[in-house]
Amino acid sequence: MKKYYEDLLRVVLDDYYKENKRYSTIEELGISLRDAEFLIAKGLCSMPHILDGVYCLRPTENGLTYFEDKKEIAKSVMIHWSFNFAMAVLSAVCGSILTLLIQQAIS
């Protein structure tokens, strides 16, 4: 997701937690309808109702956990990358040792 939309999600979450609101109008949040629709399409927010042309927005479960999930994914990727790197180094070392042992046995 673009940094811009992560910033928008932070605005929604800040309002949700700091103001302890179940939902806020997009005017209160200072975001456009188009930006709100993008967050809704991504499943990060929902629009529970529209009253007299006033659009209300609130974070979904995915929106509430988005940043924590993102950290977990990055952590998981780093662990897998580190493991694969260690296995590649170990394979190269074992291959070199086997080559030396075979050369010694032949000589």
Beta strands (DSSP E) in 8-101 are 24-25, 45-46, 50-51, 54-59
User: Does the residue 90 lie in any domain?
Assistant: no
56, β-bridge pairs: 25
CATH (domain of 48) = 1.10.10
Q: Is residue 72 part of a domain?
A: no
The pTM of the full predicted model, rounded to 2 decimals, is: 0.65
Instruction: Establish if 94 belongs to a structural domain.
Output: no
* Domain range enclosing 19: 3-63
Q: Determine, yes or no, domain membership for 41.
A: yes
Residue 14 located in a structural domain: yes
pLDDT in tens, 40-73: 999 999 988 777 878 889 999 999 999 998 888 8
- Alpha carbon 29 to its chain centroid, in Å, reads 22
* Coil/strand/helix, residue 50: strand
79 found inside a domain? no
Domain assignment present for residue 43? The answer is yes
- Chain centroid offset of residue 37 CA: 19
Q: How many domains does one find in the chain?
A: 1
Q: How far is the C-alpha of 5 from the C-alpha of 36, rounded, in Å?
A: 9
Write out pLDDT tens, residues 5-48.
Answer: 899 999 999 888 887 777 788 888 999 999 999 999 999 999 88
